[in-house]
Structure 1
Amino acid sequence: LTPELVAGLGAAYGAFLRDDGDGDGDTVIVGRDSRTSGPMLMRAAVAGLLSAGCRVVELGVVPTPTLMLAVKDAGAAGGIAVTASHNPAEWNALKFAARGGAFLLPERMERFQRRLAEEDPARVDWDAIPAVSGDDAAPGRHVERILGLPFVDVAALRRARMRVALDCVNGAGGVVLPELLERLGCEVHAIGTEPHGRFHRDPEPTARNLAALGELVRGCGARIGFAVDPDADRLSLVDERGRALGEDLTLALAADVVLGRQPGRVVTNLSTSRVVEDVARSHGCGVARAPVGEINVVVRMVAEGAVVGGEGNGGVIVPALHHTRDAPAGAALLLQYLACEPGVPLSERVAALPAYTIVKEKAAFPREALDTAYQALAEELPPGRQDESDGLRIEWPAERAWLHVRPSGTEPVVRLIAEAPKPASARSLVGRARRVLEACGPFGARQEAQARGPAGNAAG
C-alpha cells in the first residue's frame, strides 16, 4: 500500500458512505494496529476522508474490535481500521466498517468496488473540509462493556485471583488486554504488550508460533495463556502445562460459557471444528454453519438470532457486545470458563471433550477448474452430507468426519481442510482430496480425458 492509494481509497469510501449510508452520513472513525507503516497510512486515509467531506474521529492504536464497538456506540456512518491482521509486519491493509460496527455486507461491498472502478469520488471545497477530532477513551469503554457482559461474573473472577500469561505480539491488543485482565483480578505475566509493531514472533496466533508463551506459562505457573494477533480479533489458548491448544477450541470453550447462562443458537463457519457442535449439544442447543468469512457468519447470526458465534481461527463473536470477532471478550469468557470449576486444570477440562484432529493444507489450483474438481471429489469419496455454499464440504456424521475444499479469499490457492477423530483419517481425507485436484489440474489425467472426448479422439 502507498499513501497515495490509501488516500484515494479513503476519499472513495467517504463519498460512498455519504451517498449510500443510512446513519450519520458524515462521521467516520479511524484507527490502526501497531505496524510501523500505520501512522503514515492512517493519516493518508484521514486525508482522503476529509477531502470527501467526512468528519473524522481518530482513535490511534486500538484493536479492531475496539474500533468496531466505537462505530456502533457512536452511531457513525462507518470506520476504517488500518491493519493487516495476522499477516506479516511488512503488510498492511484497510478494513472497512459499516454503520452498526460490522463489516460491509457482501452486496454493499460489491457496490463500493463498482464505484471504485467506475468513478472518481466527489471532493468538497476548501472551506467545507471538516475538522478531525480524537478519542483516546475508546479502549477504556471497550473494557467497561466487557465487564458488563451478563456472562462474566466480575466479582467471582476478582476473588479467584487467577495467574495468567499474555502475548500481544507487540500489537494493538496491548492497549486493552492487560487492563482488562487486571480489572478482572488477574495476576498478569505478559510479553509483547508494547505496541511498537516490531512483532517478536510470527503474528498469526497458531500453535506453532506460541512457544514463548508456553515457556512463560510454565515459568510463572499460570492457569492459562492468551495469545492474540496484531489487531486482537483472534484469540489462541495455552494450557497450564504450556501446551498450545490451537485456535479451534477458543470458540467452543467460549460458547460453553455463554450457553450455560443463555441457551440459544450458535453460528460458525463451514471450516470450524465439530467440537463446537458437541459443546452446543451438551446444552441442548444447535449449530448453524455459514460460508467462511466474518461477515458471512454475522449475517447468519442475525438471521438465526444466535447468542454466540465465530470462526475456528480463534474469533469469538458475542452479540450482547457487538457483531465482531473480539479477542478481549473471548479472554473474559475463558476466565469465566476456568472459574466455573476452579480446582480443575484447563488441560483436564479439554481432555474431557471429544478429541478430533483437524488438518489444514493449501494447494495451487486454477479456479476455473474447481467445478470439475468438486464433481470429481463427490464421485471419489464416500457419499456424505454435502454443502456447496462455499466450495464443497462433505460430512460423514457417523464417522464424525468432514472435508472442506474451497478457494482462499486472501491467497491464490485452494484450501483443503479435514477433521476426524483419528489423525490418520484426517490426513487421509486431505491426501485423497489433493490427489483428485492433481488429476483435475491443467496437466491432470481427468483434464486430458475431457480434452480428448469420450471416444478417445481430440475434442474440438
Structure 2
Amino acid sequence: ALLDPNGGAGCGIDARVLEHFGVKVIEINAEVGYPEHAIDTDGIDPASGRHMLLRVARATARERAHFGVAFDYDADRGNLVLPGHTEEAIIPPQKVATFNIALALTRRMLRRKSGKPLAVVMSDSTSLASERVGRSFGAEVVYVETGEINVVTRMHQLRSEGYDVPVGVEGANGGTIFETSTCRDGLQAALSAALAESEPEVSEAWLLHAGVPDPNGCEPGEPIPLSRLVASIPANPNVSLRLTAPPLPHAVVKKRLEAYFADRLWPELQGRFESFRFVNFEGTTVSAERTGEETGGWRVELRAPDRAAFVFVRGSRTESGIWRMILDADDEGDFQELLPRARTMFDTVSLG
C-alpha cells in the first residue's frame, strides 16, 4: 500500500502499524509539519484544477502498490485510491463508507455466532446506497446527526439494548467506526482495504451476496483484486455542495426550506414520487420536530415504490453563513430533476 500522511499526525507511525499487520508500505510526504498539498484531501487542487487525490493515485500506480491512502492532518480520515492516472482511480468517500459496511457485514454473516439482531449506525448525510447494503444483510439502519461522537454513542447504546453493531459510518467523509472503536480512524480504513484482498473467502461471499457470482475468473481461494471489489459496491448519484448565505438563525432557514418545498417543489415532483417527509437529526435522536437551537441536520426524504432520494442541509456551527447541502438519489433521473431545484430552493430561502 502507498501511504500519504501529508506531514500530519500519521507520519511514520501508521506505516509501522500496517507493516505490523503484514502490509508492505511505501510512504510519501512523511516529514512531520511539512504538508505537500492541502490538508483536506477530498477536494480540488486550485493550482492544477484537478482532484487533490489524483497525485496519490498516480504515485500508487508508479510504485505498483495495490491501493493508496491519503490521511487528513490528524489522520482520523483515510481517503482511498486505486492505482491509476485519471480521477476514476479515486474512490469517493460515500463509496468507501459503503465498502466498509459491505465487508464488515459479510464477515459477520460468515462468522456470526450470537442470535442478537444486527444494526448499523449512519450519519444523516450518508448515501442511501449504504442503507441498501445494510438492509440487504437484514440489519436495522439507525441514523444520527453528523459527528463521530454521535455515531459512537449510538453504537454503544444499541449494544446495551441487545444489538450486534459491527460498524458505523459518516458517509460524507468516508469515516468509519469498526466494532468497539471509540473514534473514526483512517488507519482502520486502510486496514479494511488490505483485509479485503487478504481474505478471499470474505470477498467471494460479498460478491455472491451482491449478485456477482463469478469474481472475474478467479479460482476459489485466490485473492480478488481490490479494484474488482470496489466496482461491485453500489453507488448513488451524489453531490456535496458548500453554500453561503447571509447570517440567519438555523431555525429560520429550515422553516423557510420546509415551506418552500411543500408549496413550490412538491407540486413539481409529485409525478415522480409518492410521498415526502421532513426529518431532523439532533445528536443521537431523529425526529420530525426540532428542539433547542435547531442547529442539527435537516433532510427532506422523497419516496417512490422502488426508489428514494433526499436533500440534506446543515449549517456550520462555527462559520456563520456557511451551509452544506448533500443530494442523493437511487435514480439518475431523479437526481437530475432534484439538483437544480434544490439549489434554487436554498438560494431563494436564504435571501428571504
Matches within 5 A, 1:59-458: 164-195=1-32, 197-206=33-42, 208-241=51-84, 243-262=89-108, 264-305=118-159, 306-312=165-171, 313-320=173-180, 322-341=181-200, 343-365=223-245, 366-368=247-249, 369-370=252-253, 371-379=255-263, 380-381=265-266, 382=269, 383-389=275-281, 390-397=296-303, 398-411=306-319, 412-421=321-330, 425-426=334-335, 428-442=337-351, 447=352
Residue 171 of structure 1: how far off its partner (Å): 0.5
d(CA) in 2 for partners of 1:215 and 1:431? Answer: 34
- RCO higher in structure (CA 8 A, sep ≥6): 2
Question: Residue type of the partner of 1:393?
Answer: R
> 1:286 and 1:407, CA in 2 relative to 1: closer, same or farther beyond 3 A?
same
d(CA) in 2 for partners of 1:422 and 1:225? Answer: 30
> 1:220 and 1:400, CA in 2 relative to 1: closer, same or farther beyond 3 A?
farther
* Residue aligned with 2:11, SS: helix
More moved, 340-349 vs 358-367: 340-349
Question: Residue type of the partner of 2:279?
Answer: D
d(CA) in 2 for partners of 1:405 and 1:378? Answer: 16
d(CA) in 1 for partners of 2:168 and 2:280? Answer: 21
* Residue aligned with 1:367, SS: coil
Residue 294 of structure 1: how far off its partner (Å): 1.7
Alignment RMSD: 2.2
State the Cα deviation string for residues 336-389 of structure 1 (Å, max 9, x = none). Answer: 122233543222222222231211112222433312223212442343243122
d(CA) in 2 for partners of 1:192 and 1:424? Answer: 41
> 1:374 and 1:220, CA in 2 relative to 1: closer, same or farther beyond 3 A?
same
Q: Is the 8 A contact 1:240 1:346 kept in 2?
A: no
More moved, 263-272 vs 368-377: 368-377
The number of residue pairs the alignment matches comes to: 278
Residue 416 of structure 1: how far off its partner (Å): 1.2
Higher helix share: 1
> 1:353 and 1:212, CA in 2 relative to 1: closer, same or farther beyond 3 A?
same
Q: Is the 8 A contact 2:60 2:83 kept in 1?
A: yes
Q: Is the 8 A contact 1:254 1:337 kept in 2?
A: no
State the Cα deviation string for residues 56-105 of structure 1 (Å, max 9, x = none). Answer: xxxxxxxxxxxxxxxxxxxxxxxxxxxxxxxxxxxxxxxxxxxxxxxxxx
> 1:427 and 1:229, CA in 2 relative to 1: closer, same or farther beyond 3 A?
farther
Q: Is the 8 A contact 1:224 1:237 kept in 2?
A: yes
* Residue aligned with 2:102, SS: helix
Residue 426 of structure 1: how far off its partner (Å): 3.1
Question: Residue type of the partner of 1:180?
Answer: V
TM-score (norm 2): 0.72
d(CA) in 1 for partners of 2:227 and 2:93? Answer: 15
More moved, 339-348 vs 185-194: 339-348
d(CA) in 2 for partners of 1:391 and 1:256? Answer: 25
Residue 421 of structure 1: how far off its partner (Å): 4.2
State the identity as a percent: 29
State the Cα deviation string for residues 167-204 of structure 1 (Å, max 9, x = none). Answer: 11111111321002211222212211222x22111111
Question: Residue type of the partner of 1:200?
Answer: E
Q: Is the 8 A contact 2:279 2:300 kept in 1?
A: yes
> 1:181 and 1:364, CA in 2 relative to 1: closer, same or farther beyond 3 A?
same
d(CA) in 2 for partners of 1:221 and 1:284? Answer: 38
> 1:280 and 1:373, CA in 2 relative to 1: closer, same or farther beyond 3 A?
closer
Question: Residue type of the partner of 1:314?
Answer: G
Q: Is the 8 A contact 1:374 1:392 kept in 2?
A: no
> 1:222 and 1:394, CA in 2 relative to 1: closer, same or farther beyond 3 A?
same
